[in-house]
Structure 1
């Protein structure tokens, strides 16, 4: 084999591996979307139907994920729980990203005093772990799915705000924005025409990556009993219900946890893939 052949074949092999990763991620993403929108299509059973005589059955052909302490089919519950978990992740990401855009835009476009004030506020929030901020919010307003969703969104907002602020400052100092200022365009038109369109790519990537993080945090809150509660078919609540039987019925915690991990990884890989493709476009 010649040196030229080696140089040509190595990039092709890498391209195939990248394509396989994206394809596998796409399949997982499609399954998650279908499970969230039309769960009956892949799991036609009732996630709340109990069968006491069939409790604690290990994974088998009739129940591929096994059954829980009430005889409910875990596969059906995990699939139907996708809607709640994904909805919480999307809503929390929208809240965090929306607040991040507002705070980041104010800090990036305002004068030094406002920028300094917003930055000090964000630094105070960064002094606390995000999950701790969510726990404090729930402590004040009480547990529940809505409260957990808002809490996760608020706790992720400071990180989004810092990134968006840096992006806006970078775009604001570019030549085409300076030319627009020279032409006499107002701040509102410059923001709408030049700045926001140029930070859409980072926003899209941030949103995609944030969904996985939000799902994990929301599941953590439900596991602690601060979000969705049993018998809700939500992954964190299912983890919480299964921890009592972890030594005798491992499948009750394993499969909800597996779907949490797979969904978070899928969102992360999709976000990185979008970022890479847009960067090389």
Structure 2
């Protein structure tokens, strides 16, 4: 189980055994802790990335595809903060513009993975032992392959591109989400408040919709936040291999791939896209852990 799965598996609104009415957050807690410096920094970075994705011209008014051969391989300076690439394109402008592609790929892949995981996990946990056994065997087969390998196999069949990378990463992360959701659902089903609702004569559908699913799907917010960072890293890896976004797209993984040829003479071509990949992944992890802590102590 990955760190994402271990962390997110504990993300729930409190122990259902302590929630007598079946609603999240029924237990009392002390005063909420103030956000840490890391959480504040992560929040600010997330805000900058969202602005870059929605309105990149506010942060970088230039054209990310503008070519200036006379400025090729320019080192970082006051004119070009992150330097220029082999075609004289401003790397800062391309990094800001690439935030949209990277975040869209990461968020879309996470939504696909979460959606499939929620469906498979819910089916396995609610439709009886035979269905649970079948779904579990299917998930075990998928777990036999590394997630990135599954993504590579998908792209091998359907061809490279940003769309293929989104679906491939989403499919490769779905088994992990399904296992977390299934385990959470089984835990909630055996809790005291579900047993009390059963004794009171509530129908199976009402118990499922009112008590089980709300407590089971609560960790999805944490899973999604953590998953975006992981999906961006995976998508960047596929682009680096030439299987994701294709040049001249200003996607961070594609920029890394373009800069590897000149790593010894123009290090900034790879450094700054790689730095933003790392910062985005760290930011998503920090925000996910912050959300998880607040949900657990709510």
Q: Which interval holds the TM-score relative to the shorter structure? A: over 0.9
1:265 matches 2:282:
yes
1:12-69 deviation line (CA, Å, top 9, x unaligned) = xxx9996211111111111111111111111111100110100000000000000000
* Aligned-partner Cα distance in 1 for 2:255–2:269: 7
Alignment TM-score, normalising by the size of structure 2: 0.87
* Alignment map for 1:116-127 (pairs within 5 Å): 116-127=133-144
* Aligned-partner Cα distance in 2 for 1:96–1:150: 9
Corresponding position of 2:232: 215
1:202-231 deviation line (CA, Å, top 9, x unaligned) = 111111000000000000000000010111
Match of 2:47 among 18, 23, 30: 30
Contact 2:116/2:174 (<8 A) preserved: yes
Aligned residues: 267
Corresponding position of 1:9: none
1:51 matches 2:84:
no
| Deviation at residue 153 of structure 1 after TM alignment | 0.2
CA RMSD in angstroms, aligned pairs only: 1.4
Q: Which has the higher helix share?
A: 1
Bigger relative contact order (CA 8 A; separation at least 6): 2
* Aligned-partner Cα distance in 2 for 1:17–1:253: 37
Corresponding position of 2:150: 133
Unaligned 5+ runs, structure 2: 1-31
Contact 2:181/2:217 (<8 A) preserved: no
Contact 2:241/2:257 (<8 A) preserved: yes
1:115-155 deviation line (CA, Å, top 9, x unaligned) = 11111110110010000000000111111110110000000
Alignment TM-score, normalising by the size of structure 1: 0.92
* Aligned-partner Cα distance in 2 for 1:38–1:201: 31
Corresponding position of 1:167: 184
Corresponding position of 2:102: 85
Corresponding position of 1:12: none
Corresponding position of 1:104: 121
1:156 matches 2:173:
yes
Contact 1:58/1:249 (<8 A) preserved: yes
Which 10-residue stretch deviates more, 119-128 or 189-198? 189-198
Moved segments of 4+, more than 4 Å: 15-18
| Deviation at residue 180 of structure 1 after TM alignment | 2.4
Which 10-residue stretch deviates more, 186-195 or 218-227? 186-195
1:40 matches 2:57:
yes
* Aligned-partner Cα distance in 2 for 1:195–1:265: 32
Contact 2:63/2:93 (<8 A) preserved: yes
* Aligned-partner Cα distance in 2 for 1:143–1:199: 35
Contact 1:144/1:226 (<8 A) preserved: yes
| Deviation at residue 196 of structure 1 after TM alignment | 1.7
Contact 1:201/1:275 (<8 A) preserved: no
Contact 1:242/1:252 (<8 A) preserved: yes
